[in-house]
Amino acid sequence: MGGQYKITGDRYPRMRPARRRGRLAVVAVACVTVLGVLGWGTLQLIDVFTGGDKATAVGAAADCPTARASAVPAAVKPPKPAQVTVNVFNATTRGGLAQKTADELKKRGFRVGEVSNAPKEYDKKIKGAGLLLGPAASAKGSLAVLGTQLPGAERRTEAAREGAEVDLLIGDGFKGLAKPADADAALTALAAPQPTPAAEKKGC
């Protein structure tokens, strides 16, 4: 175009103002920084009032019945051999086994009661190493303690039986009591039971 509308020079007029991108970027960074500081401060306040993860874990363990139960063995502490009275009966055709076994049990700290041949209902009818008999309450107590001396023996409890004495009836498969070292190890394990895995895995 000519006349008064003729454009001269190497610069052209802008039809709209330039975008202020730099200023917008600064504002965005400032907003992100403020939000980050507020978030961090909120987490710190939460830790202060709740005691943090460590306090929460300790509190949970204290309030959880299962956690307390897993730390204490549930089994009742078994009696010592000196608190167990054993009656020894020979149910085999081999003579002298009852007295010999009773003497050995006495050396190992057990109290020995009656020593004799087995009653008619058991005489020559026990094929295994032996049979341990006791009252119902002795299953996890004196009967278990006696069982450490003859691991291969069968165990039975009699609900109608009175008293605390237990019986050892020697069977045809009897070859002697357990070795003293093995019996002592079994007694130690029996006196210090460990918590079961199922109790440790349960949560509140």
pLDDT, position 25: 64
C-alpha neighbours within 13 Å on the C-beta side of residue 7: 5
- pLDDT of 70 above 50: no
The predicted model gives 32-48 an average pLDDT of 63
pLDDT tens digit string along 162-171?
Answer: 999 999 999 9
Cα–Cα distance, 177 to 103 (Å, whole number): 11
| pLDDT exceeds 90 at position 68 | no
Give dist(CA 66, CA 63) in Å, integer. 9
**What sign has the CA pseudo-torsion 152, 127, 97, 112?**
positive
- 200 has pLDDT over 90: no
The residue-averaged pLDDT of 35-61 equals 57
CA-CA distance, 165 to 144, in Å (whole number)?
13
Q: Is the pTM of this model over 0.95?
A: no
178 within 8 A of 151, measured Cβ to Cβ: yes
